[in-house]
Amino acid sequence: MPRITAERIRLLLVQNGVLIALILLIVLFAVLNPRFISIGNVQTIVLQIAELGLIALPVAFLVMQANVDLSVGSTATLAAVTGGLTMVATGSALLGIVVGVVVGAVAGIINGTLISILGLNSFVVTLGFMSAWSGLALFLTNGKTVSGLPKEFTSLGSLAPLGIRIQIILLVVAIVVAWWVLNHTTRGREILAVGGNLRASQLMGLKVHDIRVSTYVVTGAVAGFVGLLLAAKLGAVSPVVGSGMELDALTVVLLGGVAFEGGSGRIRSVLYGLAFVGVLKNGLVILGISAYVQTILVGLTLVLAVGLDRGIQQAVARSIASSARRRQRRDQQELAG
């Protein structure tokens, strides 16, 4: 049994900091307003974070491979706009959904190609497309909401098989798939390997470009689907429907302890980050906090997430170094004996 030391305790606290913070946040909001922990409000929180969770999961895989996508919110918006316009023009909900998902996937192909094959910086590329896709969505709609969507499409937004909203079902399925891919497939190990050491992965013969581009394609396609899901729930397509989701997703991922430098991450911890953001936003609404203050606090949470990420990396590095020193002393003692 590993010996309990101050270093191990500190490492455990750092690695589970977001879970501890989540519990404290729940307690705080429950004390300030008991309605916060009602069954109805818990269901509301889960429903509110469903779309964000769907986007955050593939973004987590991108960060694990030492990349980032700041354009997922704009991609969701553009996919919803193009899909919505297609539905209005043709009357076909299915065609509109296909167009929206394909637009998202194409956006992912563009990102992945520029970043992996041409070697451009992922932050700069996706920041540029965040603006480009948002501007294109406004251009296509002339800044107006797209209405007149087919009823069979808008009904999807409130679909509830067995009394459970479709958004929640999709999130649960996505969580299971993401966990399985990361922990039980070759692709999951390859993503972590690429993020941990790109050069070593190339020397090992991994198809690095395929791995990185395919992850961007999946992220774009999921973002496109989420944009359509939001449009179905709202019953119309706003040209800013996905605005801000990219920063929320990144906050969730970093709070979840996924190393910004790549190479490590756990789906369970990402879920803690997702719950933290959902609880924070919902609790502030229940307490009647201004939307402007909410934006400030979410922004500060992103800064906290980056700090937590750095703290985890430093704590892990110290723990590894400490273990190495103990092992070296033990070896020396055995040799001396």
Q: For 32-77, write each residue's pLDDT tens digit.
A: 999 998 999 999 999 999 999 999 999 999 999 989 999 999 999 9
- Closest alpha carbon to 196 in 246, 258, 135: 258
Q: Residue 271, CB half-sphere, CA atoms under 13 Å: how many?
A: 11
What is the average per-residue pLDDT within 6-12? 59
Gap between the Cα atoms of 245 and 71, Å rounded: 9
Gap between the Cα atoms of 308 and 269, Å rounded: 13
pTM: 0.85
CB 307 within 8 A of CB 313: no
Q: Residue 158, CB half-sphere, CA atoms under 13 Å: how many?
A: 6
Residue with tokens 């399985």: 180
Q: Which of 2-16, 139-153, 188-202 has the highest mean pLDDT?
A: 139-153
CB 111 within 8 A of CB 216: yes
The three-class DSSP label of residue 146 is strand
* Dihedral sign from CA coordinates of 90, 91, 92, 93: positive
Gap between the Cα atoms of 149 and 161, Å rounded: 22
Gap between the Cα atoms of 199 and 180, Å rounded: 26
pLDDT digits (tens, 9 = 90+) for 182-208: 999 999 999 999 988 888 888 888 899
